[in-house]
Every structure is written in structure tokens, then in C-alpha cells.
């Protein structure tokens, strides 16, 4: 049960940020930009018409709140992001916000008072493409980004700091100096995000909805540099060579073997060597002395990620010894895996049966804001919606019928309510907590 008319019109509004120029094509809505702010205002305008109270926290996240029957019960919060990658698609992010908002709109219009308070949330700056940092709004909301970082993070295309962008849209980043918690952690029963799957599995299996078991964390080595020594390809004997390509290929082949072995042992793991090249150093008759490559490993298990990190270090050492080269290995960038609440998953499975909706359980290969809340201790879950399997690309597409099926499941979850596993009741209402944490009514 959700307001289809409002959902459609919100998607139409959001299309205003679709670029169709010879140099740029697709959705372009940078994190903490005017466009992201404008997109949020499409929702705020609808909320005003419906008399749904709206709040903005000090990180710029927006909260639309529908009070429940029992204010001492913690709230169900559901939301996603509205920023996109450069030349992105229509639905990665906005689908989850439109879903949660149009459920609240339907309840409000029909006078349905849910058992507990419901909140639709717009989370700022999820995409890492702009500032090199994912989930900025979510992390700021739980006090997990330092104030210094707001100066340091610079937008890739403009080199302007995040702090400047925040000030430009009327935020006061100085207020975040002591990393306050903005999100009502103790007044939230669960966080749940509807999102397009961003992969081909649901389409392939012809199942409309996925219930997420966990969000894979990752380790990324953006550039490992192998330093060898140049020489003539015809004259230098093999035992005297320092061949950067052969040394690197040896590492990659060993990793391929070891990681495939882990997969065969049943571990959740995907791995990619997304970049590999000799750059300008390559020449047909020169022994390669400079080879650069990247490694990315993702898993739902931190143990598996740790194991992979050791395997990478060991094989680099072995290759250095065999090939007499040096590898320059940067500190890997890490993001934690997140486990989805078994209780949320169970309820979603039960509700999907109630409404006759086929679903499967599956991990999320991509990172999401939900991981931030899950790792902050909030019972969390995700609903994946079938689409054409393409994402982070203008060709990303989702039939409205499939969106509707996913939203029906979310609506059922919100309507039935969710009690936290420990049965805790809140000391204060969700709204009161928001205000106490420095949010402003809009
Ligand atoms: Zn997303």
C-alpha cells in the first residue's frame, strides 16, 4: 500500500537532473550539491502538502516523520540516498526514498495510524565517486567522520572541500566539531532500505524481490606498483632480469588460485583485479620495469577479508624473492561488512508470503548506507528490487511494476510494526530525540 501517483510524480521531478548533452549523458546529482538539495526539496514540497513533519539534521539528512499510536515504541526508519554517480541511472538511491515516502503519504492520506512511528529518510552523499568517501551523511549522522575530514575531502571534479559544499547549502559544519550523534539511535527499532539490486541475479532467476542477508565489506588496493629494471628483451638473461610484469602476473595468478580455493570451500567472496597496466613505461623491446595494478576483494565475512589480506601480502613477498623486484603496496582502503538482522529478515520473509510475493535471500555485493546503521547497532535490513541488472550507468532501468512489488513488501513491514529484539521502549519520542540532537524542523 503506497501512493503510486506521488511515487510517479517524484520520479518525474527527479528526472530534471538527467543530462542529455553531447559531452554528458545520464543522471548527474553529486553528493552535497545544489542538485541533491533540489531533489530533497521535491520530497519536502510533497510533505508540506500532506502536513508531514520534516526535519533536517546538521549533516543535511532529511527526516519525514509519521507519528505512531504508541510514541514510547522506537521508530521504523526507511530511506536511501538521492545522489548519483556521474552519468548514473535513475533509480540507484531514489527508489528507496520514493518507496518510503510514498508509503507514508498513503498512510497519511488514508488516516492510517501505524503501531509505531515511521520515518522516511533522505541520506546525504552516499556515492563515493564525488568525495572519495562513501556514505558521508549516514556516517556523519552517527558521529563517524571527523571534523578535519570535512576540510580534507575534496570533490574530484572541482577540488572544492566538502566543508565548502556543506556551507553552500546552508549547513554549519562547525557544529560537527565534536562528532555529535545526530541520528536517534536509541529511538529506532530498525532501519530498512529498499534498493535496486544493482546486479543480474533477480532478473536471471525471475524473482521480483531479494531479502538481503548481509552487505559485503571490502579491501581495496587502488594501486600496487611493481618496480623492476629496464633492459633489452633479447640480451639480458632471465636470471638477471627484474621483470615487473612477470612478477605481477605471478602474484595475480597465485591470488586467482587462492581466492578460487576459498570460494570452493564455501566462503562468501568476490574478487577483481580492476586495473593493470605498464603505463607509459611499456615498449615492445624493453623488459618492463613498471607495472601497476589494483586489487579489490569483497566478502560478508571479516575473517575472510583478513585472510585475503594475508594471502596478498604473502604472495607479494614470494614474488619479490623469485623475480628480484620491489612492490610498493599502499595501505588498503577497508570497509566493514555488515550483517542484516535475522529478525528483520525473518519478518520480511513472512510478510512476503502473506502478500504472495516470491522472494529469495541474497547478499549485497555493493555497499549501502544500511551497513553504517547496522554496524552502529541498529537492527537493519534491505529489500532488493528486480531491475534490468545494469547499474551506475544511464541504461539502468526498473519497471514500475517491479518497484511496486518491492514497495508493497516494505509497506506491509511498516504497517505490521517491528519490535526490537530486546523489546526496549524509548525514553523519548523519535522526533524529540531528533530535535535534541540538533535537527531543525523545515
Ligand atoms: Zn545506492
Distance 29 CA to ligand 1 centre (A): 12
Distance 195 CA to ligand 1 centre (A): 7
pLDDT tens per residue, range 57-83 = 999 999 999 999 988 889 999 999 999
pLDDT score at 23: 80
CA distances (Å), origin 37, targets 34, 113, 157, 178, 240? 5, 29, 19, 25, 60
Q: What is the DSSP letter of 266?
A: T
Cα–Cα distance for residue pair 230/281, rounded to 1 Å? 9
Domains and CATH numbers, the chain: 4-215+338-441 (3.40.630.10), 217-335 (3.30.70.360)
Distance 295 CA to ligand 1 centre (A): 22
Please provide the DSSP assignment of 10-66 as one string. HHHHHGGGEEESSS-EEE---TTSHHHHHHHHHHHHHHHHHT--EEE-TTS-EEEEE
SS3 356: coil
Distance 378 CA to ligand 1 centre (A): 19
Instruction: Name the band, by pLDDT with cuts 50, 70 and 90, for residue 432.
Output: very high
Cα–Cα distance for residue pair 137/59, rounded to 1 Å? 6
Cα–Cα distance for residue pair 380/430, rounded to 1 Å? 17
Is 370:382 a contact under the CB 8 Å cutoff?
yes
Q: Which residue from 116, 100, 146 is spatially nearest to 7, judged by alpha carbons?
A: 100
Cα–Cα distance for residue pair 381/397, rounded to 1 Å? 23
Distance 262 CA to ligand 1 centre (A): 28
Distance 140 CA to ligand 1 centre (A): 17
pLDDT score at 24: 83
- pLDDT: which is higher, 125 or 423: 125
Angle at 75 between CA 72 and CA 76, to 5 degrees: 155
Helices (H), 335-384: 342-354, 369-375
Cα–Cα distance for residue pair 83/127, rounded to 1 Å? 7
Distance 434 CA to ligand 1 centre (A): 24
Distance 132 CA to ligand 1 centre (A): 15
Cα–Cα distance for residue pair 375/397, rounded to 1 Å? 30
The DSSP bridge pattern shows strands 338-339 and 209-215 to be antiparallel
pLDDT score at 423: 63
Q: Which residue from 106, 114, 176 is spatially nearest to 145, judged by alpha carbons?
A: 176
SS3 332: coil
Distance 72 CA to ligand 1 centre (A): 32
CA distances (Å), origin 426, targets 183, 184, 392? 14, 10, 39
- Environment of ion ligand 1 (residues, CB < 5 A): 92-93
Cα–Cα distance for residue pair 290/279, rounded to 1 Å? 8
Distance 311 CA to ligand 1 centre (A): 30
With 0-12 CB in 10 A as exposed, 13-18 as middle and 19+ as buried, what is 89? buried
Distance 436 CA to ligand 1 centre (A): 29
* Predicted confidence (pLDDT) at residue 401 exceeds the cutoff of 90: yes
pLDDT score at 20: 87
Handedness of CA 392, 368, 262, 324 (dihedral sign): positive
Cα–Cα distance for residue pair 331/15, rounded to 1 Å? 39
Instruction: Name the band, by pLDDT with cuts 50, 70 and 90, for residue 282.
Output: confident
Distance 127 CA to ligand 1 centre (A): 7
pLDDT tens per residue, range 214-236 = 999 999 998 999 999 999 999 99
* Predicted confidence (pLDDT) at residue 281 exceeds the cutoff of 80: no
Where on the phi/psi map is residue 380: left (φ > 0), alpha (ψ -120 to 50), or beta?
beta
Distance 392 CA to ligand 1 centre (A): 9
Length of the chain (residues): 442
* Predicted confidence (pLDDT) at residue 103 exceeds the cutoff of 90: yes
Distance 268 CA to ligand 1 centre (A): 21
Distance 152 CA to ligand 1 centre (A): 24
Distance 57 CA to ligand 1 centre (A): 21
Distance 71 CA to ligand 1 centre (A): 31
pLDDT tens per residue, range 9-46 = 999 999 999 998 888 899 999 999 999 999 999 999 99
Residue 275: Cβ within 10 Å count: 14
Distance 368 CA to ligand 1 centre (A): 6
Distance 316 CA to ligand 1 centre (A): 34
Distance 387 CA to ligand 1 centre (A): 14
Amino acid at each position: 500500500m503506497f501512493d503510486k501517483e506521488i511515487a510517479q510524480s517524484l520520479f518525474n521531478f527527479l528526472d530534471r537532473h538527467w543530462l542529455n548533452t553531447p559531452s554528458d549523458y545520464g543522471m548527474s546529482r553529486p553528493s552535497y550539491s545544489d542538485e541533491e538539495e533540489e531533489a530533497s526539496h521535491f520530497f519536502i514540497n510533497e510533505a508540506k502538502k500532506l502536513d508531514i513533519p520534516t526535519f533536517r539534521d546538521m549533516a543535511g539528512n532529511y527526516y519525514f516523520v509519521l507519528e505512531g499510536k504508541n510514541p514510547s515504541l522506537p521508530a521504523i526508519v526507511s530511506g536511501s540516498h538521492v545522489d548519483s554517480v556521474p552519468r548514473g541511472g535513475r533509480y540507484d538511491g531514489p527508489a528507496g526514498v520514493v518507496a518510503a515516502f510514498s508509503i507514508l503519504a498513503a498512510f497519511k492520506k488514508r488516516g492510517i495510524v501505524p503501531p509505531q512511528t515511521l520515518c522516511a529518510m533522505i541520506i546525504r552523499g552516499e556515492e563515493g565517486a564525488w568525495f572519495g568517501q562513501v556514505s558521508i551523511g549516514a556516517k556523519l549522522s552517527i558521529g563517524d567522520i571527523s571534523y578535519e575530514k570535512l576540510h580534507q575531502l575534496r570533490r574530484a571534479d572541482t577540488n572544492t572541500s566538502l566543508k565548502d559544499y556543506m556551507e553552500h547549502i546552508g549547513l554549519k559544519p562547525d557544529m560537527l566539531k565534536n562528532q555529535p550523534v545526530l541520528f536517534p539511535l536509541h529511538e529506532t527499532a530498525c532501519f530498512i532500505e529498499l534498493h535496486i539490486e544493482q546486479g543480474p541475479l533477480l532478473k536471471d532467476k525471475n524473482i521480483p524481490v531479494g531479502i538481503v542477508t548481509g552487505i559485503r565489506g571490502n579491501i581495496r588496493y587502488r594501486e600496487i606498483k611493481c618496480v623492476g629494471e629496464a633492459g633489452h628483451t633479447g640480451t639480458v638473461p632471465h636470471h638477471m632480469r627484474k621483470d615487473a610484469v612477470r612478477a605481477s602476473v605471478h602474484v595475480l595468478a597465485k591470488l586467482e588460485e587462492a581466492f578460487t580455493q576459498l570460494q570452493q570451500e564455501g566462503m562468501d567472496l568476490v574478487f577483481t583485479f580492476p586495473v593493470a597496466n605498464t603505463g607509459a613505461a611499456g615498449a615492445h623491446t624493453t623488459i618492463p620495469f613498471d607495472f601497476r595494478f589494483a586489487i579489490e576483494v569483497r566478502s560478508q565475512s571479516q575473517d575472510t577479508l583478513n585472510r585475503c589480506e594475508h594471502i596478498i601480502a604473502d604472495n607479494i613477498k614470494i614474488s619479490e624473492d623469485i623475480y628480484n623486484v620491489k612492490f610498493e603496496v599502499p595501505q588498503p582502503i577497508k570497509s566493514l561488512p555488515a550483517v542484516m538482522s535475522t529478525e528483520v529478515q525473518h519478518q520480511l520473509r513472512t510478510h512476503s508470503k502473506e502478500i504472495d510475493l516470491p522472494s529469495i535471500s541474497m547478499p549485497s555485493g555493493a555497499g549501502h548506507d544500511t551497513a553504517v546503521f547496522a554496524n552502529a547497532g541498529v537492527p537493519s535490513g534491505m529489500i532488493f528490487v528486480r531491475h534490468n541488472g545494469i547499474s551506475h550507468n544511464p541504461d539502468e532501468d526498473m519497471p514500475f511494476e517491479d518497484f511496486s512489488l518491492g514497495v508493497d513488501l516494505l509497506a506491509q513491514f511498516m504497517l505490521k510494526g517491528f519490535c526490537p529484539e530486546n523489546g526496549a521502549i524509548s525514553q523519548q519520542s523519535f522526533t524529540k530525540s531528533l530535535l535534541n540532537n540538533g535537527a531543525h524542523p523545515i
